[in-house]
Amino acid sequence: MSAPLDKPILGLAGLFLTSGTLHMVRPEVFEAIVPRPLKGYQRELVYASGVAEIGCGLGLLHPRTRPAAGLASAALLVAVLPANIQMSLDHGARARRKATPGARAAFAGTIARLPLQWPMIRTALRAAGRR
């Protein structure tokens, strides 16, 4: 049995729908964070992850699909973690090269974002009826 649609689950659905739409409309923004071993398939992976995010977001909104969407959302969040780490590594290298306040702030933002994956994964699992 899935959890009721509360603010955290609704927020996660909104994040997935927004991010997934951005993946489809502006894929070039996300291509740079595809981990290096997967280079050569950036556009395809960005589109695939965008479709997955939209599917998860929509699935979280309905009680009948929420359990499966919750599990899929947790798996997706784990799957994209390497891309988020790659983004932090790239911003860290840029901050060392440029050493501007903007480059340092961007790097700090990517580092601060990484721990937010865990509460989102917990919310996804709770949406699936797992605690």
- pLDDT tens by residue, the chain, 131 residues: 678 999 999 999 999 999 999 999 999 988 988 888 888 999 999 999 999 999 999 999 999 999 999 999 999 999 989 888 988 998 899 888 888 888 889 899 999 989 999 999 999 999 999 86
Measured distance CA(92)–CA(99) in Å, rounded = 10
H or E element, residue 11 = helix 7-25
Q: Which two three-digit tokens encode residue 93?
A: 């290298």
Q: Do both 59 and 91 map to the same domain?
A: no
Buried b (16+ CB within 10 A) or exposed e, 29-50: ebeebbeeeeeeebeebbeebb
Record the pTM.
0.87
Measured distance CA(58)–CA(76) in Å, rounded = 14
24 found inside a domain: yes
Domain that holds residue 102: 81-119
Measured distance CA(83)–CA(60) in Å, rounded = 23
128 found inside a domain: no
What pLDDT score does 102 carry?
87
Q: Do both 68 and 4 map to the same domain?
A: yes
Q: Do both 74 and 57 map to the same domain?
A: yes
